[in-house]
């Protein structure tokens, strides 16, 4: 069978969004007209359609579909129903199966054998309706499950350790509700989806219909329509897909505002006090266990959350597919108190495209407190009731989190704040989309330099130092073009405007207000110039430092430092950071006295800052300790490292990387001072922390194993040394660009094998080390 010719795709491919296959197995191949009917009816929600006439071909095709990324809906029409029912459970790709037959009572006894099978349908209309409902529920459930598992992803730079998805949608919500926010991506939205569905005439018609008829008072109807809106929007929020989020900006704002408007109409009259809504889903066991650990804590659903007033209807979606599966049914029972101010929610039955559901829709980023969990004893299935209450606007814990986020999101516009926060959250891809979009939509020179600079920061975060340097040098070129002559010309022109008797004033009097406004803008950008220019120069120095070009780094650091001395207070923390960076670079080229002098100046300033930035001070202490260590002043180094550790332990969250690094440096220093037992203890602490916050196979973990191996080697415990070296090597070999580190590890393990008399292994690693060093030399040529 020619699958290529038989496959009809509807261009449902997009960014990280799961999609559905519809497969029809038709024994006698006699339902081609009906197959075409299904294609037309379901083309808006199905990725592709495939029709087979033999069981073998059908299930061979299904077996090639990737599990967890694609889902199969199977329709069967024929005489071998029992055979089909017996095998569908063996295919995890199959989400559900529909049996199309004339006598719907023949096979009822098989229902328990395969909960994936729906067999009592004699017409395609019923099947198509159920398929649409299945897909809609799947996307809603999929989105929620993703938020239940997102608690493993924390913001390391945030001392509260908040979930990144919570922070992300919190700032997005503030952006879309900001009075100054002006959505402007409607045309981009239409163009984008038109390209995505360029081969799907049904969807193109719907997109054109959306373009012509969309109105802010009808957003909920569009959201609840089957098709591309709700599933793609919620998936974009889940995956932090900024490309899609930006294109959805108008829709998100309009949808929230309609929900908020309905909320006021329905519950603002004081007639309602409290009631319950329900949401059912099936959670994998590991995510259910994480949910249990949140009892008494806050839980955020970051999408637009759909719930029902009908508990029985919600319970249907909380039933696990198999009694022996690793899944648990969850029924969220959400108590809503209409007498207090909360996030907006509304009954949408009258405004929805689906009129027969008692649906309550919540705006994005609804935050609940999980009160209790209890297993239901009224049914056989493994289903738990999870009681939630919607948090109030005065919830102290929530307000503290929100304020913490605001403090970390800086910028003059909502999107700038979002971009700045993405950088702090170490989400460079999302930040890049924001700043490139900002750059493409401004002609103001001052803003262009700001966005170019931030793109340089982002490229540095991504590790692409060459592109970062290009952005910074472009900034510098623009700054240099704004020279003193521009300032002089502005001043002369402004003075002429002040003279009402001048010819210039008389000739252009009607334009005076506009010219004054332009001069104010120019003055703002010129006054900001020195600060921004110094920051860019300093960041170029940071790039050179990361490249190991310390002499060039010092040149730029010194230039930035001199500029900053001209316009910053002597006690400004930015000046302290500048001194510290310069000191580190001097230490790197062996000018240790200069390094110590500069870092001590940084510490002097940091101790006088109000409020004191203790963590920045700890970083300076740490770097001072590293410099003392390099010149053999181990006791002074140890003292600086301990001071840094005390600060980090007080002001950083548990298992923060800075604490682990401090334990490591203290351990190395202790070893140099002959205190190997203390060194081993601190290296093990560092390793334990890194294993807690890092994914597997990270270079920092390899460093810990290597350090522990060194202590074992010094203690002549060679077998343990070899064991730790091997763990370090295993990690380093999976990382690219680590030839020098690998060569050192090979030499060390070779020496350890030699000590225990395993000379063949010693020779093996000796040869690998030699080969790796040759590779290092070739990389340098």
DSSP 629-651: HHTT-HHHHHHHHHHHHHHHHHH
The residue that leads in pLDDT, 490 or 65, is 65
Is 207's pLDDT higher than 60? yes
Task: For 535-563, write each residue's pLDDT tens digit.
Answer: 888 989 988 888 888 999 999 999 999 99
φ, ψ (nearest 5 deg) of residue 650: -85, -35
Q: What is the total residue count of the chain?
A: 781
Is 451's pLDDT higher than 60? yes
The residue that leads in pLDDT, 589 or 64, is 589
- What local confidence, expressed as pLDDT, does residue 173 receive? 77
For the ranges 51-55, 380-384, 519-523, 775-779, which has the lowest average pLDDT? 519-523
- What local confidence, expressed as pLDDT, does residue 484 receive? 39
DSSP letters for 348-393:
-TTTSS-TT--EEEEPSSEEEEEEEEEE-SSSSS-EEEEEEEEPBT
- What local confidence, expressed as pLDDT, does residue 392 receive? 75
The residue that leads in pLDDT, 588 or 316, is 588
Task: For 613-644, write each residue's pLDDT tens digit.
Answer: 788 899 999 999 999 999 999 999 999 999 99
Q: How far apart are CA 725 and CA 526, in angstroms?
A: 56
Side-chain-facing half-sphere of 646: CA atoms under 13 Å = 7
Is 670's pLDDT higher than 60? yes
| Positive or negative: CA dihedral 649, 651, 657, 658 | negative
- What local confidence, expressed as pLDDT, does residue 737 receive? 61
Q: Helices then strands (H, E): number in the chain?
A: 33, 14
Task: For 397-411, write each residue's pLDDT tens digit.
Answer: 667 766 766 666 677
- What local confidence, expressed as pLDDT, does residue 450 receive? 87
Q: How far apart are CA 532 and CA 474, in angstroms?
A: 13
Q: Which domains does the chain have, with CATH numbers?
A: 19-142 (3.40.50.2300), 163-405 (3.90.176.10), 426-483 (no CATH)
Is 102's pLDDT higher than 50? yes
Residues 6+ apart with CB under 8 A from 343: 362, 363, 365, 366, 367, 390, 391
- What local confidence, expressed as pLDDT, does residue 87 receive? 84
- What local confidence, expressed as pLDDT, does residue 109 receive? 43
pTM of the predicted model as reported, rounded to 2 decimal places: 0.63
- The confidence band for 610, taking pLDDT boundaries of 50, 70 and 90, is low
φ, ψ (nearest 5 deg) of residue 675: -105, 70
Q: How far apart are CA 768 and CA 103, in angstroms?
A: 72
- The confidence band for 779, taking pLDDT boundaries of 50, 70 and 90, is low
Task: For 333-358, write each residue's pLDDT tens digit.
Answer: 999 988 888 889 999 988 888 776 78
If you average pLDDT over every residue of the chain, what do you get? 79
Task: For 148-185, write each residue's pLDDT tens digit.
Answer: 544 333 333 333 334 556 666 777 777 777 766 666 67
Q: What percent of the chain has pLDDT over 90?
A: 32
Sheet with 117-121: list strands edge to edge.
Answer: 8-9, 48-52, 19-26, 70-77, 94-100, 117-121
- What local confidence, expressed as pLDDT, does residue 10 receive? 32
Three-class secondary structure of residue 29 per DSSP? coil
For the ranges 424-428, 465-469, 767-771, which has the lowest average pLDDT? 424-428
Taking each helix axis from N to C terminus, what angle separates 614-630 and 657-672, rounded to the nearest 10 degrees? 30
Burial 219-254 (b: 16+ CB within 10 A, else e): bbbbbbbbbbbbbbbbbbbbbbbbebbbbbbbbbbb
Q: What percent of the chain has pLDDT over 70?
A: 77
Mean pLDDT (whole number) for 421-431:
82
Take residue 44 and report the two structure tokens written for it: 């808006």
Task: For 263-312, write each residue's pLDDT tens digit.
Answer: 999 988 777 788 999 998 888 787 788 788 878 887 888 788 889 999 98
Rg (CA), the chain: 32
Task: For 682-695, write each residue's pLDDT tens digit.
Answer: 999 999 999 887 77
For the ranges 35-44, 134-143, 261-270, 519-528, which has the lowest average pLDDT? 519-528
- What local confidence, expressed as pLDDT, does residue 746 receive? 94
Beta bridge partners of 369: 298, 389
Mean pLDDT (whole number) for 314-342:
80
Mean pLDDT (whole number) for 721-748:
87
Strands, E assignment, 122-178: none
- What local confidence, expressed as pLDDT, does residue 486 receive? 46
């Amino acid at each position: 069978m020619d699958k290529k010719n038989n496959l009809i795709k509807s261009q449902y491919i997009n960014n990280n969004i799961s999609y559905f296959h519809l497969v029809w197995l038709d024994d006698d191949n006699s339902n081609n007209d009906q197959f075409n009917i299904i294609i037309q009816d379901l083309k808006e929600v199905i990725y592709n359609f495939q029709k087979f006439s033999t069981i073998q071909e059908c299930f061979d095709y299904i077996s090639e579909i990737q599990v967890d990324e694609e889902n199969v809906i199977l329709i069967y029409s024929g005489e071998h129903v029992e055979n089909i029912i017996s095998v569908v459970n063996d295919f995890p790709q199959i989400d559900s199966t529909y049996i199309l037959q004339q006598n719907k009572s023949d096979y009822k006894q098989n229902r328990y054998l395969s909960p994936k099978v729906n067999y009592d349908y004699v017409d395609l209309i019923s099947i198509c309706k159920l398929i649409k409902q299945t897909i809609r529920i799947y996307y809603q459930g999929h989105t929620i499950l993703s938020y239940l598992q997102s608690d493993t992803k924390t913001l390391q730079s945030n001392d509260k350790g908040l979930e990144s998805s919570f922070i992300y949608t919190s700032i997005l919500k503030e952006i879309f509700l900001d009075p100054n926010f002006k959505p402007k991506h409607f045309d981009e939205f239409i163009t984008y989806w038109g390209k995505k569905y360029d081969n799907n005439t049904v969807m193109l018609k719907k997109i054109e219909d959306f373009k012509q008829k969309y109105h802010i008072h009808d957003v909920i109807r569009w959201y609840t329509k089957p098709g591309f809106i709700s599933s793609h929007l919620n998936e974009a929020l889940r995956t932090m897909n900024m490309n899609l989020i930006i294109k959805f900006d108008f829709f998100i704002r309009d949808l929230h505002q309609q929900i908020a408007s309905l909320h006021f109409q329905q519950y603002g009259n004081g007639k309602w006090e409290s009631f319950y809504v329900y949401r059912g889903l099936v959670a994998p066991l590991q995510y259910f266990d994480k949910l249990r650990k949140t009892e008494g804590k806050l839980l955020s659903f970051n999408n637009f959350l759909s719930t029902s007033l009908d508990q029985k209807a919600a319970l249907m979606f909380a039933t696990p597919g198999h009694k022996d599966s690793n899944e648990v049914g969850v029924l969220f029972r959400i108590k809503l108190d209409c007498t207090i101010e909360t996030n907006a929610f509304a009954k949408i039955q009258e405004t929805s495209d689906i009129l027969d559901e008692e649906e309550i829709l919540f705006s994005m980023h609804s935050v609940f407190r999980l009160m209790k969990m209890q297993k239901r004893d009224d049914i056989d299935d493994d289903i738990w009731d999870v009681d939630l209450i919607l948090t109030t606007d005065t919830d102290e814990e929530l307000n503290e989190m929100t304020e913490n986020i605001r403090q970390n999101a800086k910028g003059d516009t909502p999107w700038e704040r979002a971009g700045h926060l993405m950088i702090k959250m170490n989400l460079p891809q999302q930040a890049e989309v924001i700043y490139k979009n900002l750059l493409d939509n401004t002609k103001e020179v001052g803003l262009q330099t700001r966005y170019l600079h931030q793109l340089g920061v982002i490229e540095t975060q991504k590790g692409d130092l060459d592109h970062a340097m290009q952005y910074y040098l472009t900034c510098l070129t623009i700054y240099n073009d704004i020279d003193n002559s521009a300032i002089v010309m502005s001043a002369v022109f402004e003075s002429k405007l002040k003279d009402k008797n001048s010819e210039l004033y008389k000739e252009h009097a009607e334009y005076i207000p506009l010219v004054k406004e332009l001069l104010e803008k120019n003055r703002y950008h010129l006054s900001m110039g020195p600060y921004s220019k110094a920051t860019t120069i300093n960041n170029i120095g940071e790039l050179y430092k990361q490249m190991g070009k310390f002499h060039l780094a010092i040149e730029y650091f010194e230039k930035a430092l001199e500029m900053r001395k001209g316009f910053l207070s002597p006690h400004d923390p930015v000046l302290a950071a500048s001194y510290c960076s310069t000191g580190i670079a001097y230490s790197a080229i062996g000018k240790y006295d200069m390094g110590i002098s500069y870092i001590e100046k940084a510490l002097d300033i940091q101790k006088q800052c109000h409020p004191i930035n203790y963590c920045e001070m700890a970083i300076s202490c740490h770097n001072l300790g590293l410099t003392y260590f390099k010149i053999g002043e181990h006791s002074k180094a140890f003292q600086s490292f301990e001071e840094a550790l005390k600060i980090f332990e007080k002001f950083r969250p548990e298992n923060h990387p800075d604490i682990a690094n401090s334990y490591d440096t203290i351990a190395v220093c202790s070893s140099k001072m002959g205190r190997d037992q203390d060194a081993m203890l601190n290296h093990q602490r560092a390793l334990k922390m890194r294993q807690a916050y890092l994914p597997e196979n990270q270079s920092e973990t390899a460093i810990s194993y290597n350090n522990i191996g060194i202590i074992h080697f010094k203690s002549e415990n060679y077998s343990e040394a070899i064991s730790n070296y091997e763990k370090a090597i295993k990690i380093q070999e999976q990382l690219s660009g680590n030839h020098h580190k690998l060569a050192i590890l090979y030499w060390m393990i070779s020496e350890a094998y030699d000590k225990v008399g395993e000379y063949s292994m010693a020779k093996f690693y000796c040869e690998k080390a030699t080969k790796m060093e040759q590779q290092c030399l070739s990389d340098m040529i």
